[in-house]
Structure 1
Amino acid sequence: MTTAPVLHRLPAAAAANPDLLSLIGRTPLARVRTELPFPHPGFWAKLECLGAGGMKSRAALSMLCGARRRGELRPGATVVESTSGTLGIGLAFAGQALGHPVVLVGDIELEPSMRQLLRSYGAQLELVDRPAPEGGWQAARITRLRDVLSAIPDAYWPDQYNNPDNAAGYASMAAELREQLDHLDVLVCSVGTGGHSAGLVGPLRRRWPRLKVIGVDSVGSAIFGQPARPRLMRGLGSSIHPRNVAHHVFDEVHWVGPAEAVDACRRLARTSFVSGGWSTGAVALVSAWAARVEAGAVVATVFPDGPHRYLGTVYDDDFCHAHGLDRAPLATRPLELAHPQAAEAVGWARCRHVTDPSTPTRIPTGARTPGGSA
């Protein structure tokens, strides 16, 4: 793992600022018609970048408030969590609003700009310097997190991957979508911890029972049964199996690669002005595809955050060139997989057979051979 000390310093006490709570939610919907990469009828995007702390401030507040109600999080106690960045912003916001110091366990692949931003918001960072042999960076961060927890009296770990309050935090977003849309046929959700998809689908299907739900994962992610591989994309995907992922709610899953996500992000920025990072590019690509193939369907998705965190990656020509993203052939439609284990997804792949990889299942006969493209 790492030989760095568990903590450079104990976190300082924090004063609560409850006035911040009024800044959460009520984010607008944008109609997106950017060619991604082909013309399409358009889809709706919930712009969480225009809410304080981005999308995950909803989950962060829900987890901390739930823990306070149950007596698991004492007044003024330190919150310790693993993050690739996005939830860290949300926790920094929630910590300021509720009066809790925040220690975030990240890794050395966390962008320098995100490190600066998190520290500017008052969070203390602890970084691991190498991935674990099993479970990659996430497993390494959790190991370090447990050491940090043991070093801080009364520290609380929200455990975003398995905490049901994560999903519960998106009830407000579901209510906003019900008010903003007259009808919804297809919901497209990026999947990392599984929180916002699990939190949205129940309330939205009670309103629109025939709602189709498409999950969007990263190539190299193990969430839906693909082999875990090193991933360039952050904010979606996982090398572990979060219990918050409600596999049964998805009608299909798409895996999207970094070159395709970058292309979508840059197209959005040039022509729709609203854009974001890896998750935004991936869900935009799949939403545009769904709007094309589902004739007349109302399609909606969530853009989790804005582009600012990604100026040194997604929007940086040198970064993209160094990783071969400017030379990679771009998939313009998904390759159809009969089963998540039929083939390793690269570029862009789709599967309509969704399973929970933590539950043993029999692979259908013939499912080892990829089907045609759709």
Structure 2
Amino acid sequence: MQTTLSEEARSIARADEAEAILRACVHCGFCNATCPTYQVLGNELDGPRGRIYLIKQLLEGKPVGATTQTHLDRCLTCRNCETTCPSGVRYHTLLDIGRAEVERRSERPVKERLLRAGLRRVVPNSSLFAKLLTAGRAVRPLLPGSLRRKIPASAARALPRPPVRHARRVLLLEGCVQPSLSPNTNAAAARVLDRLGISVKPAREAGCCGAAEYHLNAQDAGLQRARRNIDAWWPAIEAGAEAIVLTASGCGAFVKEYGDLLRDDAAYSAKARRVSELARDLVEVLAVEPVEALQPPGSTGKDRAHRAGRIAVHCPCTLQHAQKLGGSVEALLRRLGFDLTETADGHLCCGSAGTYSITEPQLARTLRDNKLDALEAGGPDTIVTANIGCQTHLNGAGRTPVRHWIELVDASLASS
């Protein structure tokens, strides 16, 4: 796409990067065919091609207002368009640049500013989030339905984790909301890894990956969290930790980009690159391990499948489009003998998308209900996923229960 950046745009830090991405786009429109918001709204400006054009306009010096901001806000950053794009356009990077520039040039209404400031304050802070979740649960019956559905009725519990006792060691990102909303996810991961002779070394100083703030246009704050995580992990990396394991695919997608996002930081570029090289989604780790050997003699995959019932797999966008690991969870579960249903339109987003279900609730509910209709078509007993945001969002509908897939694997091995 022919592009001529304005003098003002050329002064922003990533101007050359934005221009290169814009020039890579041939405006073919293939991306619209797989864009969830375009499918729902049917508006060219609510698809990737239209949003790219809006970003091009603002970087060429055209006026920016609420309309541009609205269409960019509606993007889920699911990156489905990147999977579809024949030209390899790095749309999510361009969107980050465009959103930051719109934020700088156009002030939001007070209500929106307060909501986003609150999300940036609460979501990345695991202890504050836990306290507010506990308080919200106490008054849950009194809350409006839209808010009540986001608060689980009962507190989730984690089974014990094994001690650090093996020569093989990995790090595990605890995350920000997952310790409160699904504390057994990381505990289950630690137990399965322990059975394989791999210990999880604690690094409590590592918390939120930084994605929540970064994608809410507090990009400097998000990168500062990335630096804190790198500092927390670095001693264990120097001591030989073989991987940084991520059980939330949204976190995994962001940590794998640390090296790119901090490439111009002289103090952190090399360390960030190493962290991204070591980052592994949990399914990547287990895919190359002899998980089948964990079952005791006489136990079969059919036994586990019978106990678990039929399973539908929701593959998060951050796993299939960002990390390019679509189908990997399904492959592992089939190796272990689980009975999986088929799901139509598995490439489409469920509407969670970090804080999107809060900032764009109507669109998020539509996408969620469409996704659940597709997942439930095969009559599953349980839905599994690989991201806490998707898990919580889908569970909020009160339909088929949704769990992280590692809990299913852990429970099946424990009962074998």
TM norm structure 1: 0.29
Larger RCO (alpha carbons 8 Å, 6+ apart)? 1
Going by fraction, where is helix more abundant, 1 or 2? 2
